[in-house]
Amino acid sequence: MLPFWEGASLFARTVTILTMSEEATNLLKKALTLPVRERADLASSLIDSLDSTRDEDVEAAWQEEIARRIETLRSGEARPIPWEDVRKKAHAIA
């Protein structure tokens, strides 16, 4: 499978580059050479940087939900489903 940059159409690459500064274009080209996990981490950090508002109530609610889900796993009330099983079911539906 080709990396995103190589698989993107010439039009998509050209439009992206034309709408960015030279510095941003150079950063993008360099970022696209990173391993997938590092690109994902970088993308996540960039997206987070766009949202400067932070709703503390939402953050607290997510922390409570995370703790609740961990507890259901630890207690045996819920059981994890292997990704491969989920993927097979999703492909069977689609």
Write the DSSP string, 39-56.
HHHHHHHHHHHH-----H
In the chain, beta strands by DSSP E: none
Same domain, 40 and 25: yes
Q: How many domains does the chain have?
A: 2
Confirm if 85 and 93 have CB atoms less than 8 A apart. no
Q: Is the pTM of this model over 0.75?
A: no
Residue 79 has pLDDT above 80, yes or no: yes
Same domain assignment for residues 35 and 62: no
Whole-number Å distance between alpha carbons of 8 and 64? 40
Contact 17, 25 (CB under 8 A): yes
Percent of the chain with pLDDT over 90: 61
Q: What are the pLDDT digits (tens) for 12-35?
A: 555 555 688 889 989 999 999 999
Q: Which residues form the domain of 45?
A: 4-50
Are residues 66 and 44 both part of a single domain?
A: no
Same domain assignment for residues 13 and 42:
yes
